[in-house]
Structure 1
Amino acid sequence: MNIFLTAFYTKDLGGGETSFINLVNYIATRDDITSITLCVPKRGALTERLNSKIEIVERSSLFELMSLSGQFDLAIHNYMNFGKKFLFLPRLKIKRNIFLCHGLWDIPRYTKTLFFDMAGAEISCVNKDVYDKIRYKNKKVTHLPLNSSNLIDTQKNDGSMNISVIGRYQDIKNQLFAVDVFEKIAESHKDVKLNFIGDSAFSQESIQYKERVEARVSLSKYKDRISFFGHLEPSDAYSKTDLVFVSSKYESFGMVIIEALSMGIPCIAPYIGGPKEIMSKEYSKFLYEPDSVEHATKVLQDVIASFGETKVYFKTLSEKTKSQYGADKMFENLISNENNIHT
């Protein structure tokens, strides 16, 4: 099988980029794959982490894209909003085009769905919320893949409980909300700390949001128990973490969640989008009402009160998460010709 891939250039690696890396690196290990070609506007952080078997070609303009040629059994496009540049696809001999829809911001509008019809394309959504909002018949849900080999189960032994918020500084990630919740529990739990792990994206909005978070923390009476670690590799991030707090206003899927669950690390998250889908069964009591400081505080208080039991509970389910979200299963779901929802 010959595979063609497209992806944006990026300086940052968020959940979408990480999941794509997990998927592509898994594909590179399969014996039934003859070749893999990735087309990007230019090399960036994403391409640096890909298997050396993958041929990477840079094409930044529509004219350069038109110069591409070749025959491919399958094309996987990471994000759909590549605009008119997708006009080059008919020039390639591709048997199947699959577009990954990563969130509400990525939903194709009317003119693009017309193009998808012409190309006989398929759309794979990361959760049912996104699926329900896409007005296109050839669609399904395929969750994003985990790479558990990147995660080392290390024990943290500094005598305190570290709550970690992991992700880039963006308004949608809502780190300010995490500070509000932390202040509610800090007075009665003096051994609890809050860690922010991640950095600002390259946009000015992200840089300014990080400055807002830092300014807010500087005014907190508990600022000595709040730490900023910047970007860390997953194993380093989770080695500093007893509990993951997903503070986001919206999460299309939630790579941090499945990474934490696969390691047996307790996690609380808002009842929305991907977290709702991932945690709605065994982990439902660890979901809180979005944007509710009071409910998030209550859920966090309950977790802290029975933390020993909670850790055991999450640990018993970790292997199930690894198998459920493994890259092998996700790839099979992605290329399946079935049009049903995989959940």
Structure 2
Amino acid sequence: MNKENSIKRKTVLFISHSSDLYGAERSFLDLIMGLKKNNAIVLCPSKGLFTEILERHNIKYIKIFYKKWTHRKYLVVQSFFQFFINIIACIRVFFKIRKNKIDMVYTNTSVCPIGSIISIFFRCPHIWHIRESPETRIYDLGKRATLKCINAASNVIVCNSQFIKNSIRPYVDNVKLNVVYNGILDEKDFSTKKGRKYFIHNPIELCIVGSVLPHKGHEDAIRAVAALYIKGYDAILKIVGEGNYNYIQKLKNLCNNLGISSKILFNGYHNNPFPFYVNSDITIICSRYEAFGRVAVEAMSVGCPVIATNNGGLTEIIEDGETGLLYEIGSNDMLANQIIKLVDTPDLYEKISENAIEDVFDRFTKQQYINDIEYLICNQ
């Protein structure tokens, strides 16, 4: 039996942790739509932009509310309450789709445990895709116990970077671990991509894209804008994304204290961030823990040079000085100097832009991503 025929017979229940449309959800959608030859059913906790796209592509989904096993603070009572809700949700899912022969359950992130329970109900294999650093989450059971549970409840564990694989390796069976980079780009687009010719706006236009949360480190970028001003460079920073209200207010207070409120633009969430990459001179990523770095790949794909923190999956995407620039976490002065280096060195700017495009289209295509996951599904 050939691989394609065996895949066609699979009915896969995909578990989404949310109906928003940030990096993890977008990568998940790319996967689901790329595996259309499977009989896919998607479980979502609510309706939103995610389910709208599923409807648009005629992909079957069911909406049943369930809880994550993470929260901002550890509360024993809350943990038991979330577990009870998830058991009820599993029973509802079972009765809703019991007439379907579910061959596999595929869970999209480590923050959602319901897929592991459902796979027991249907007595089928379970693939768990880890897309975030465990250091950025507070798990009901704690990090160690949670990863032990993930190990016990999975036939295959997919990591979206070598960094994530190394961080969870002590807690899981290494034979289950697989690294599959997210696929962001379509190969057919490569022929139209060329590096940018050097041009810098006045003032310099910077952007930072993604959830506005403390571990994303937006204060580095804000302080770097202030440092640029002191060094004689005028810049504006576009913050693209939504997130924690208290953190956003803290950032706005920081802008006021530094006297640069007019230079920092809070643009809110945008479904399509590419216009920001295209119209910005430089994209900045200030994450304290970045499991992969989808924003880096997206920006690089349109030739927008990226300056990112020297940590996590970002170092697997960016070669410092060749496909982007790196800086030390919390060193806003170093970040400012890296911005100045790009602004004042046309040859470096153009080299990084061209190299970045070639590199991301070589390593991060959707088809390669889909093929790698397809192989894992086929062999279970």
Normalised by the size of structure 2, how large is the TM-score?
0.76
Q: Distance in 2 between the 1:20 and 1:190 partners?
A: 40
Contact conserved, 1:150 with 1:234, CA < 8 A, in 2? no
Match of 1:226 in 2: 264
Gaps of 5+ in 2: 1-7, 66-88
2:215 aligned to which of 149, 169, 172 = 172
8 Å Cα contact 2:209-2:273 kept in structure 1: no
Paired position in structure 2 for 1:203: none
Write the distance in 2 (CA, Å) between the matches of 1:262 and 1:212.
32
Aligned pair 1:36/2:40, yes or no?
yes
Provide the C-alpha distance between the structure 1 equivalents of 2:53 and 2:200, rounded to a whole number of angstroms.
31
Residue 9 of structure 1: which of 11, 18, 29 is its match?
A: 18
Match of 2:62 among 57, 63, 67: 57
**Superposition deviation, residue 112 in structure 1:** 6.0
The answer to whether the aligner puts 1:26 opposite 2:34 as a matched pair is yes
1:65·1:85 contact (CA, 8 Å) conserved in 2? no
Give the CA deviation at 1:115.
6.6
Deviations 1:303-337 (A, max 9, x none): 22214541343224314312411111012222435
Give 2:253's aligned amino acid: A
Corresponding residue of 2:184: 146
* Percent of matched pairs sharing the same residue: 18
Check the 8 A contact 2:320/2:326 in 1, yes or no: no
The answer to whether the 8 Å contact 2:131/2:159 transfers is yes
Q: CA deviation at 1:191?
A: 4.1
Q: From the superposition, tell whether residues 324 and 111 of structure 1 become closer, same or farther in structure 2 (CA, over 3 Å).
A: closer
Q: Distance in 2 between matches of 1:131 and 1:22?
A: 22
Which secondary structure does the structure 1 equivalent of 2:208 belong to?
A: strand
- Give the one of 275, 281, 289 matched to 1:242: 281
For the 8 Å contact 1:164–1:194, the answer to whether it is kept is yes
TM-score using structure 1 length: 0.83
Matches within 5 A, 1:110-121: 110=145, 113=148, 116-117=151-152, 121=155
Alignment partner of 1:136 is 2:172: yes
Aligned match of 2:316 in 277, 290, 297? Answer: 277
2:201 and 2:281 in contact (8 A); partners too: no
> What secondary structure is seen at the aligned counterpart in 2 of 1:46?
helix
Q: Which residue does 1:162 correspond to in 2?
A: 205
What is residue 46 of structure 1 aligned with on the other side? Answer: 50
Match of 1:186 among 225, 229, 233: 229
Report the alpha carbon displacement of residue 284 of structure 1 after superposing the two structures with TM: 6.9
- 1:282–1:183 distance in 2 versus 1, CA, 3 Å: closer
Report the Cα offset of residue 170 of structure 1: 0.8
Aligned pair count reads 326
Identify the residue that residue 268 of structure 1 maps to in structure 2: 307
Could you tell me how far apart the structure 2 residues matched to 1:193 and 1:81 are?
Answer: 35
1:226–1:335 Cα change, 3 Å = same
Shift of 1:55: 0.4
**Aligned amino acid, residue 317 of structure 1:** A
More helix by share: 2
Moved more, 310-319 or 39-48: 310-319
What one-letter code is carried by the residue in structure 2 that aligns with 1:82? C
* Separation (CA, whole Å) in 2 of partners of 1:272 and 1:73: 38
- Structure 1 window deviating more from structure 2 (303-312 vs 326-335): it is 303-312
| Gap change, CA 1:215 and 1:326, over 3 Å in 2 | same
Amino acid at match of 2:61: I
Runs of 4+ with deviation above 3 angstroms: 72-75, 106-117, 147-160, 187-191, 280-285, 335-338
CA contact (8 A) 1:126 1:142 kept: yes
Contact 2:200/2:281 (CA < 8 Å) preserved in 1?
no
Indicate which of 128, 137, 140 corresponds to 1:99: 128
User: Does 2:109 correspond to 1:79?
Assistant: yes
Instruction: Write the mapping of 1:286-297 to structure 2, written as runs, cut at 5 A.
Output: 286-297=325-336
Determine helix, strand or coil for the equivalent of 2:49.
coil
| Correspondence for 1:123 | 157
Q: Secondary structure at the match of 1:100?
A: strand
CA–CA distance in 2 between the matches of 1:72 and 1:287?
45
* Superposition CA RMSD, Å: 3.1
Larger mean Cα displacement after TM superposition, 176-185 or 148-157: 148-157
Write the distance in 1 (CA, Å) between the matches of 2:220 and 2:289: 13
The one-letter code matched in structure 2 to 1:41 is P
Are residues 159 and 26 of structure 1, via their aligned partners in 2, closer, same or farther at CA, if it must alter by over 3 Å? Answer: farther
Q: Deviations over 1:194-251 (max 9, x none)?
A: 2212223xxxxx0111111112212333333322222222233223311001112221
Gaps of 5+ in 1: 201-205, 339-343
CA separation in 1, counterparts of 2:58 and 2:27? 18
1:216 alignment counterpart? 254
Return the letter of the residue paired with 1:224: S
